[in-house]
Amino acid sequence: MFNGTKAMKDTPSKLHSREILAFAATLLVIAVWGETFVSSKILLQHGMAPSDIFFCRFLLAYLCMWILPDRRLFASSLKDEGRLAIAGLFGGTLYFLTENTALQYSTASNVAILVSSTPVITAVLVSIVHKEQRLSLVQVGASALSFIGMVLVVLNGKFILHLSPKGDALALGAALSWSIYSLNLQDLRKKYDVRFITRKVFFYGIVTLLPYFLIVKPFSLDIQALSHPAVWGNLLYLGLVASMLCYVLWNWSIGILGTVRTSNMLYSQPFFTMLVAFIILGERITWMAVAGASLIIAGMVIFERSPKRVLPEQNESRSREDGTDF
C-alpha cells in the first residue's frame, strides 16, 4: 500500500527489500506487456485501429486513476507541468503510434528487435545527461549479452530479416520515445507521487493524440463491436492492467531502481512474448530461443552483480522526505 510522508531515511535492509519488490514489479510489468500483442491482435481483428485502441485504453486508465487518492490537478510549476506533458507525449502517443505504424512497413521480428534496443538507447541518453552515471565496461558487456540473447529469442530459428528504412526508423523512434519517457521520469519521481505522475501521463497521452485524429485518421469505434466479450474484455485488460497498473508499477520502479536498471530488464520482454505465443498460439520454441533466453538472464544477472556507482537518482528516491511510495 502507499505510505505517507517519511521523516527519516530507510534502513539498508528495508532498501534491499524495496529493490527486490521493485524488480518483481518490473518483471510483472514486462510479462504483461509481452502478452499485450495478443490482446491488441484480437481487437485489430474486430476492426479497431491502433490509434483507437490506444485512445480507449488510456482513457479508461485515466478515468480509473481518479479512484486512487492524491487527486492533485497540476504540478507545482509550469516547467514540471511541461515535463509531464512531454512524458505523456513520448510515453504514450509517440511510442504507440511509431511502434504500431512500424509494423505496417517492416516485419514483426525487425520491429521487436529494434524496439528492444530501448535499454541501450536509455543508457546512452543517461550517460549524456548524467555523466556520473555512465555504465562500467562490465555492465556494457552484460547489456550486449542480453541484447544478443534477445535477438536470438525474437528470431527463434528464423534467420530472415527484411530491411525497411521507413519501418525500421519508426521502430527505432519507438525505442527512443520510451527512453526519453523513462529518463524524464527520473527527476519527476523525486518531487511527485507516482499516482499523480501516472494520471498526468495518461491525460497528456490522450491530449497529444487528438491532433492525430484531426489530421491523419478520425476516431471511429463500432458500438456493436463493444457487445463482443472479446472486445470489451481485452479493452478492460489493456486499460486497467496493461496501462493503469503497469504504468504505476513501472514509474514506481524507476524511482527505486533508477532509469537504467529498470530499462535493462526490458530485454526479457521477447522472452515473455515467446512463452505467451507458445501457450496461447501454439508457436514452437527452438533451441535458439532457449539459448537466447539463457543469455538474456545471464546478462541481466551480470549487470546487477557488477560493481556500479551509487546513482544520485537512487539516493534521492531512498532518502527524499516528501512524496509517497509503496
**pLDDT at site 321:** 35
CA distance 224 to 289: 41
**pLDDT at site 323:** 41
**pLDDT at site 50:** 87
Q: Are 42 and 234 in contact (CB under 8 A)?
A: yes
| Least confident piece of the model among 15-19, 130-134, 244-248, 283-287 | 130-134
CA distance 292 to 25: 23
**pLDDT at site 322:** 39
Q: How confident is the model at residue 92 (pLDDT cuts 50, 70, 90)?
A: very high
Q: How close are the terminal C-alpha atoms of the chain, in Å?
A: 5
**pLDDT at site 61:** 96
- Could you read off the pLDDT of 121-160 as tens digits, one per residue? 888 888 787 766 666 777 778 878 878 887 777 676 565 5
- Could you read off the pLDDT of 229-275 as tens digits, one per residue? 989 999 999 999 999 999 999 999 998 888 888 888 887 777 777 77
Sequence spans of domains, the chain: 12-319
Cell numbers placing 137: 565496461
**pLDDT at site 267:** 79
Q: Would you call 225 exposed, middle or buried from its count of C-beta atoms within 10 A (0-12, 13-18, 19+)?
A: middle
The residues near 215 (Cβ < 8 Å, ≥ 6 apart) are: none
The whole-model pTM stands at 0.79
The residues near 155 (Cβ < 8 Å, ≥ 6 apart) are: 109, 288, 292
Q: Would you call 128 exposed, middle or buried from its count of C-beta atoms within 10 A (0-12, 13-18, 19+)?
A: exposed
Q: Are 80 and 188 in contact (CB under 8 A)?
A: yes
Q: How confident is the model at residue 41 (pLDDT cuts 50, 70, 90)?
A: confident
**pLDDT at site 94:** 95
**pLDDT at site 107:** 65
**pLDDT at site 5:** 39
Task: Find where cell 517519511 sits.
Answer: 6
